[in-house]
Structure 1
Amino acid sequence: MEHHFADCTLDDARLTLTRSGSAVAVEPKVFDLIHVLVRNAGDLVTRDRMVEEVWGGRIVSESAMSACIASARKAVGDNGKTQAIIRTVPRRGLILVAEVSDQAGAGLSDAVHAPANAAQRIRYCRSEDGHAIAYAISGEGLPVLRFGPLNTCDLEMEWAYGLYRSSVSSMALHSRYLRFDNVGSGQSERVQREIDFETEARDAAAVADAAGFDAFAAVSFSGGCLTALSFAALYPERLTRLAIVGGYVEGRSRRSPDATPDALKSMIAEGWERSESPFASAFAMSYFPEGPAEEAREVLREMQAACPIEMMLRDRDVINNATVDHLLEKVRCPVLILHARDDAVHPLSQAKKLAAGIQRAELVVLETANHVPLYGSSCWESYNYTLAEFLTG
């Protein structure tokens, strides 16, 4: 169904919002909020109802709700001062005051309209050594493959959590976005095997083949750069461009022979198996000191579900001693490096070393202390724009 109001059209079958004929990029929770307001135009939508329909009844902070409302107003061309489209009823809720007209979407019957929270489809392929790898594709456009942090992604959980749906949907607005879970974690086959980044790169190639990706762009997050750079060296003809977010050349043990014991590993050992452990929370806040806290907790919950403690402890040892310095000169595609200025996990000096070692690499410094920007942080919009602009050329 298409809902027309002001100069906007919200299509809940295609999950799109346009204003004055131009597509507007919105996060899933923002889309869901506008959707519930449009469906109840002229009526009060209470804060309790917003929590139920937009956040699935989970506890949500005032700051997260305020940020979502502000983003919804911005998306439809409104603001908190004029409130010409979305009006606040103090201490009660919101009303969409613009007149709304509805019509069936072109070529779609009411019987096949997709809900705003559409389910993702998970598929499987096989690695060279025969293990099942789970993958999913979102959006349409130029192909983009994601290299997530080693063994800490879960396709099902990241889709369910608003944080990751925000990130995935941002990418899917501009591309055909392919994500996969590493063997041993998430929705892939839960087996333990020795970590070898060339093997992980060959797994990524198997996923790309199954998805029908020949030559494509890619984005890596945190330790995913170790696999991404291995892939770039193995398959230079397949990678058209590469974005590296929160990446590094050397693990912490290689950066200094006098490196202190890994405090993050101690936090994992003490609290990984308890969802509300203060040690696990401290681990998450080491990566995301600026929050928002709710989003950082969602990252932690996904990581805990995706990767068992014994694998997580082993992975810390591997990445602490890893280096990709020998691979940098082998990268042939354009590379964009995005890195937080005040990253305490992998310092900015590591991003500069990446940029200096890779031909045709560019560095963009993000004004945040979060290892990777989170939805609701001050640099979120500029970060997403810069990333999408590079990956889609």
Structure 2
Amino acid sequence: MDGDTYRFGEYALDTTRHQLYRTGESVHVEPRALELLRHLVVHRDRVVPKGELLDEVWGDRFVSEAALTTALRTARLAVGDTGSEQRVIRTVHRRGYQFVAALTAMGAEAPVRTGHRSGETPPAVDGPRDADSQTIRFCRAGDGTRIAYASIGEGPPLLKAANWMTHLDLERTTPVWAHWLGGLARNRRLIRYDERGCGLSDWAVPGFTFDDWVDDLHTVVEAAGLDRFPLLGVSQGGAVAVAYAVRHPERVSRLVLAGAYSRGRQVRARDETERAEAALDLDVARVGWIHQDPRFLKVFASQFLPEGTPEDWDEFTAFQRQTTSPSNGVRFLEEFAQIDVSDIAHRVACPTLILHSRDDERVPVSQANELAALIPDSRLVLLQSRNHLLTAVEPAWGEFLSHIDAFLAE
């Protein structure tokens, strides 16, 4: 019945009052996202097609599937779910969505607590909620650029260099990054930041060079009060991490490089054909980003997640659009293509773990081989995946975390 109160985990959905509660406290949810959640709960016995949700939630108003994706992400955030974990709302590929959490339906007269008495223990939370407890702070680089950084979890520190594209707040709910935060912050304190021009850091900045990125990393190190720590670099963040480890060997105890490269595509082009291909790739990206062409952005997303679903690509595209401006997106891509740390990588003095998808379609495995050959005390692990950014559902993700845990425990 629509007038029931539905309880699942620490949550209660009161369909009479049109209100969601968590441990007795009211949770603010955007009305359409709340209606989407209500419809899924009421029809939890089946998979609800996308078309039905669009009709029920938006009625006669015409909206794109992007609106549905946004409302779904908001609903998942409200109930502590993510697109990768899907413990509450499950995506059924090509069919729709289904509410799958264990649930108890109660009569409309059932009261919902709006607090707990002094000395009373609130209901337990299922699983760690590291992403809810992150602390965001700001520091300023030497040229005045404001850099946002965050800390999640407890234990020994792990610093992650910034990479394309990040947003400290939105990462908690996007299936692109949510599982990375939970996995990397397990039994340790994960510190990460948004690079200049991106996320919660300043978008209009005086400098936009590779050296600026390395300097920003050091700014975060100082602001976070880190002395000696392991450093993780993902994708182009790997080159930034390599450069930092060379400049500050006294700070970096261990280095982890994931999907990284020493030379950008234009730099590593070996002949005229490869140079032309690199130039064309950049030109297409430039046009796609400036015009925010959805066809290009979907192709771009598929390069990062070739084994992902169309929904994964839509999520990735929506996330990118919120992380930076079109003009900054172009600037990032232009700078990435020119990266070159091949002449200094041999000076990395700390033990280094290099993890790379064997069939990475964005950064070829040859770049991982090159890094392993250049960095003296390094070891290379190839993972069975085509994805540049590993997803939560593939076996390679668990292997990735296991290798990092073992390496940092040595």
TM superposition score normalised by structure 1: 0.71
Q: Secondary structure at the match of 1:373?
A: coil
1:207-286 aligned within 5 A: 207-255=220-268, 256-258=270-272, 259-262=275-278, 263-272=280-289, 277-286=294-303
CA distance change for structure 1 residues 344 and 162 in 2, over 3 Å: closer, same or farther? closer
In 1, are the aligned partners of 2:234 and 2:258 still within 8 Å (CA)?
Answer: yes
Give the Å deviation of 1:386.
1.5
CA distance change for structure 1 residues 54 and 380 in 2, over 3 Å: closer, same or farther? farther
Matched, 1:304 2:317: no
Q: Partners in 2 of 1:93 and 1:111 — Cα distance?
A: 20
Matched, 1:374 2:388: no
Give the Å deviation of 1:132.
1.0
Q: Secondary structure at the match of 1:155?
A: coil
Q: Partners in 1 of 2:142 and 2:188 — Cα distance?
A: 27
CA distance change for structure 1 residues 184 and 163 in 2, over 3 Å: closer, same or farther? closer
Q: Partners in 2 of 1:56 and 1:352 — Cα distance?
A: 41
Q: Which residue of 2 aligns with 1:134?
A: 148
Q: Which residue of 2 aligns with 1:193?
A: 206
In 1, are the aligned partners of 2:83 and 2:175 still within 8 Å (CA)?
Answer: no
Q: Secondary structure at the match of 2:344?
A: helix
| Identical residues among aligned pairs (%) | 28
Unmatched 5+ stretches in structure 1: 4-11, 14-39, 59-63, 73-90, 98-103
Q: Secondary structure at the match of 1:123?
A: strand
Amino acid at match of 2:179: S
Q: 1:155 aligns with which of 147, 154, 168?
A: 168
Q: 1:351 aligns with which of 324, 346, 368?
A: 368
Unmatched 5+ stretches in structure 2: 1-8, 10-21, 24-40, 54-67, 77-81, 91-97, 105-115
Give the Å deviation of 1:355.
0.3
The two structures, once aligned, show a CA RMSD in angstroms of 3.8
Q: 1:118 aligns with which of 115, 120, 132?
A: 132
In 2, are the aligned partners of 1:120 and 1:159 still within 8 Å (CA)?
Answer: no
1:51-130 aligned within 5 A: 56-57=74-75, 68=86, 93=100, 95=102, 109-110=121-122, 118=132, 120-130=134-144
In 1, are the aligned partners of 2:246 and 2:347 still within 8 Å (CA)?
Answer: yes
Give the Å deviation of 1:280.
0.4
Residues 249-283 of structure 1 show CA distances to partners (whole Å, capped at 9, x for unaligned) of: 21111222322244543443343367771110001
Q: Partners in 1 of 2:407 and 2:378 — Cα distance?
A: 12
In 2, are the aligned partners of 1:131 and 1:189 still within 8 Å (CA)?
Answer: yes
Q: Partners in 2 of 1:121 and 1:170 — Cα distance?
A: 17
Matched, 1:172 2:185: yes
- Structure having the higher Rg: 2
Amino acid at match of 1:350: Q
